[in-house]
Amino acid sequence: MPSKETVRVIAFPGAPNLPTFAAIENGFFAQEGLAIELMLTPSSVAQAERTAAGEFDIIFTAFDNVVAYSEGQGPAPVNPDYVVIMGATQLELAVIAAPEIATYADLKGRTIALDALATGFAFVLYEMLARGGLKPGDVTYLPVGATPQRWQSVKSGEHVATLTIEPFTSVARKSGFNVLGLSTELFDSYQGGAVAARRPWAKQNPETVKAFIRGYLKGLAWTLDPQNRAQAERILLEKMPEIQPAALPSVMASLLSPRSGLTPDAKVLPEGIMRVLDLRFRFGKGGKPLTDASKYLDLSYYDAVTSKC
């Protein structure tokens, strides 16, 4: 048998990785001649630094991370040269808080854990807290890392709140922690996760990029097929043992809903992209409004694959 081409992938921990897990387990990437090396990142900074160093080819990340580093506003002084090749999630972000925190007002004078202070979903949190009546300076934000580290810091009492995605939102609920608000209550559309590549690597390996997209789309379609629900749940529990079985139904319901989880056909969300750009302009480092989304995207590979379907 011919050897398979290795594609190095880095992603954030979370239930949205299920299509990738499924595509690996069901051999969809192998059918495309690919061997996937998947690593979960401890933070967006680590993800950007290691991608910039050439260690990864495909990156599952927040769309805002792509924008931040493209605009020279990333927290790490590197250029990972991200370019989005397809969408991934609408993503429902939840503000989870310690049991004694019942309202946004209860957060005053306390510390909140974030991945980084000016990338990813930080601006969503700032908007949610502002609409909840808090002013800049009412709370202290501290960079902790990806969702597992942030959740652990709240669970241990080091910080009183953070922003989570599934399955950590459901795990927190089942553990007696409060959910103060959901991003889906504020925004009709938000481009949460995206699939990106290192721009130079993609240009040098267009057929590999298209093969990856085909494999992922097979994994996504398999995940969204109700007939595969039981097997999908098994895969997710195996890959994420921190999910409590009692929380699994709510995790899957959120993940399988295009309103709060995986985007059908991995399409990008034009209105959701503009929401990300608006939040970065308002909460970022200033400058001109960001209105040209095309410079963050190269959907030619995706279009080439889907036009043949």
Residue-range domain boundaries for the chain: 5-90+191-252+262-269+283-306, 94-185
DSSP 72: T
Q: Which residue is it, tokens 């889907």?
A: 306
Q: How far is CA 77 from the centre of its chain?
A: 21
pLDDT at 119: 82
Q: How far is CA 107 from the centre of its chain?
A: 25
Q: Are 5-90+191-252+262-269+283-306 and 94-185 in the same CATH fold? A: yes
pLDDT at 1: 55
CATH class of 94-185: alpha beta
Residues 6+ apart with CB under 8 A from 107: 97, 101, 129, 134, 138, 139, 160, 161
The whole model's pTM is what?
Answer: 0.94
pLDDT at 309: 64
Report pLDDT digits (tens) over 161-173: 999 999 999 999 9
User: Mean pLDDT in the chain?
Assistant: 95
For residue 94, the surrounding DSSP H or E stretch is strand 94-97
User: What CATH number is given for 5-90+191-252+262-269+283-306 in this structure?
Assistant: 3.40.190.10
| Residue 118 near residue 285 (C-beta atoms within 8 A) | yes
Report pLDDT digits (tens) over 82-103: 999 999 999 899 999 999 999 9
